[in-house]
Structure 1
């Protein structure tokens, strides 16, 4: 499967996901407003951290080793059984903890114990949430792109329908519940899709944990946990800082800008995860890895830059169509945010080399440093420029991050022989 073909096939799912995500943004803009956006961002960060812990942070490893063991189904089954057992036990344990401390979690993340019920909904459906992510990771690793695309389309449609209905009838509380449960509902569609695959059997999904496999997962667990902690925590700190310094409306403007970035970059980021991670996991020679990276810079980076330019030119139209007049102050965030988005994609191409080749020490170091520097730069630049400074911090942070990754990955690739990895 080539990069171009993967991008085109995946583009169908991405188009649906983009349209539903933009539709969700409009619904949320109408029914929860800027302050509600900030609360949704806080809860989404909480979900990111909790689900990563619940799954054992192994889904990236599942994709990598499913692709790497394409020649040996027994090894693939050992990976799936180990991952399924770890995810099932981890999610059940986390569900119990969340249920017990739901009110405390609501205060910690949402500043209001009245939202404890949202966390209880999340706890009740968490096991399906993690199993859905596991099945998608397997589909990705198997390069079963048609089923992967269809499962993602189904998830996008459920997200839109559930979020729209609950937001209309219950406002912010309903939007938070939708965020908590829609991926869990999607699990049943993903399961039906997988049941029709010739390689799928229930007994492949749960069973004895293979300790050699579990040991291989540890590097990916470390990397995933680092991302699951650093990125959401840095965003929570930034959001709290913006809320306390400029008001929670301002924090909502930044959250809206961040969600818009995620929407328009979706084609690029999903292509990276669908194509690059399995592909880089297969490659063993230095020249092959370098060729894939250069291909990404010739195809993916210009696409990201062009999309960003279009978004910037149409920013006023976008705010009015996708949000409401209440969000007009976010206009000042577009320029530096889009520069930062382009730099982000440039750095992520190299980050996937670290993921695909399990360069976990470098990955962890770069993630921690990036998270800390983003918060520090936000404080510094917003004191100089006001709210616009958070977007400048985003751009400068990813410029530094990209430069560091270029240095790190170049150093690591020097350890790779022309015909394969040093053993």
Structure 2
């Protein structure tokens, strides 16, 4: 049958790109949704079996796990995504990137594992309050070697726009971790919950390994020499992510310890419940921006174009968060007992402060990714230190008048409102300079 309207090559190409973008968005959404759902279910299990006190005791360990999840492999994930995207049509440069990145990741992870093995007991006493749980810290040090491999695989998959492989590894890994985590938490209490938290992150490595062994990149990680120039570039990304990985979790540990000392484990546990709720849905925005926004602004040097894209993504993030946050807030009497337990009912009184803070934090992510994509190390580090320092300062200032988790949450809200508007001013200055 003759076509009524002939389709040009450009039109068919645009259609294919559109379909690919929609498909990628759906797959990424499913992958992140599986992570959020499994994260909530495991949080529910911890809240159900251990209560606010148990969640408070695990708070430091969750922060430590967050640090190691980002530091695994040297924290070069954003750099690998950026340069994989740039070298996707240059196999020689791509394979050299893989060799350099894998060497960097292995050495960094091996040194980190050695450090944690040597100091497992004192770390266990500070983090878990029990030197007899040093074996948990030792297990974490070994698991982060597995996390390093998964970081490399997922970063390369993202950079090469192979969203299908990335999503498959994440979904299968999340599903595998759930029954394992339930068994550990129900049978072994605090120590079992600690291992369950590690398993959520590590399980994705198994489907990643399966996909890697079936891919064309198999063994390419070791077939090229290490490139000193690439090594230097990756080290800047490592420095940025190391500061980001350490700054806020360390602040969390510091503030949580203050809460424990002044208000007890229950208040610390309630605040930890809020943090875990936040990290679940904020993770969606982080993955979305890393997968779509960062590659887009990495490929252009036009500041006006970057500004336009940034404003569009900020508006998109704000709308999506406002809808989701509104549902969570107005149905909080349903969601909080469902996701945590009835013992966390107190956080309903100040959930609004956390949601407002998260609204501006998610919006500020968009601006922060510009610094990552442009490898603006100094700007990124200054902003991370500023955010962490401001949060601590406001927490202790407001804590004089409003005690417990509520005061901390109000400080969180104010600090990220300030940081967002400061980021907008810096963006405008950068575009016009």
Indicate the TM-score class for this superposition, using the shorter chain for normalisation: over 0.9
Q: Contact 2:98–2:220 (CA<8 Å) still a contact in 1?
A: no
One of 312, 326, 338 as aligned partner of 2:355:
338
Compute the displacement of 1:19 (Å).
Answer: 1.7
1:47 corresponds to 2:65: yes
TM-score (norm 2): 0.90
Change (3 A) 1:159 1:206: farther
Equivalent position of 2:383 in the other structure:
366
Compute the displacement of 1:268 (Å).
Answer: 2.5
Equivalent position of 2:8 in the other structure:
none
Equivalent position of 1:418 in the other structure:
none
Equivalent position of 1:168 in the other structure:
186
SS at match of 2:75: coil
Compute the displacement of 1:224 (Å).
Answer: 0.8
Equivalent position of 2:427 in the other structure:
409
1:76 corresponds to 2:79: no
SS at match of 2:74: coil
Structure 2 distance, partners of 1:288, 1:72, is 26
Compute the displacement of 1:182 (Å).
Answer: 3.9
Structure 2 distance, partners of 1:145, 1:11, is 11
Deviations 1:339-372 (A, max 9, x none): 1111111111100111111111111001001101
Structure 1 distance, partners of 2:339, 2:233, is 44
One of 20, 28, 37 as aligned partner of 1:19:
37
One of 268, 272, 295 as aligned partner of 1:251:
268
Compute the displacement of 1:28 (Å).
Answer: 0.9
Compute the displacement of 1:55 (Å).
Answer: 1.6
Equivalent position of 1:382 in the other structure:
399
Equivalent position of 2:6 in the other structure:
none
Deviations 1:32-59 (A, max 9, x none): 2112212332112223334544522211
Structure 2 distance, partners of 1:225, 1:267, is 21
One of 90, 113, 118 as aligned partner of 1:100:
118
- Residues matched between the structures, number: 414
Compute the displacement of 1:380 (Å).
Answer: 1.8
1:351 corresponds to 2:368: yes
Deviations 1:198-236 (A, max 9, x none): 4x2213357632101011112212211111221111111
1:221 corresponds to 2:238: yes
Change (3 A) 1:228 1:85: same
Change (3 A) 1:12 1:214: same
1:16-415 map, 5 Å = 16-198=34-216, 200-204=217-221, 208-386=225-403, 387-415=405-433
More displaced 10-residue stretch of structure 1: 2-11 or 228-237: 2-11
1:8 corresponds to 2:26: yes
Structure 1 distance, partners of 2:313, 2:198, is 34
Q: Contact 1:257–1:333 (CA<8 Å) still a contact in 2?
A: no
Structure 2 distance, partners of 1:41, 1:260, is 13
Q: Contact 1:66–1:76 (CA<8 Å) still a contact in 2?
A: yes
Structure 2 distance, partners of 1:196, 1:401, is 45
SS at match of 1:384: coil
Structure 1 distance, partners of 2:391, 2:155, is 29
Structure 1 distance, partners of 2:72, 2:282, is 27
Q: Contact 2:57–2:265 (CA<8 Å) still a contact in 1?
A: no
Change (3 A) 1:5 1:380: farther
Compute the displacement of 1:403 (Å).
Answer: 1.6
Deviations 1:366-420 (A, max 9, x none): 10011011112112223222331211111111111112211222223335xxxxx
C-alpha RMSD over aligned residues: 1.9
Q: Contact 1:85–1:206 (CA<8 Å) still a contact in 2?
A: no
Long gaps (5+) in structure 1 = 416-423
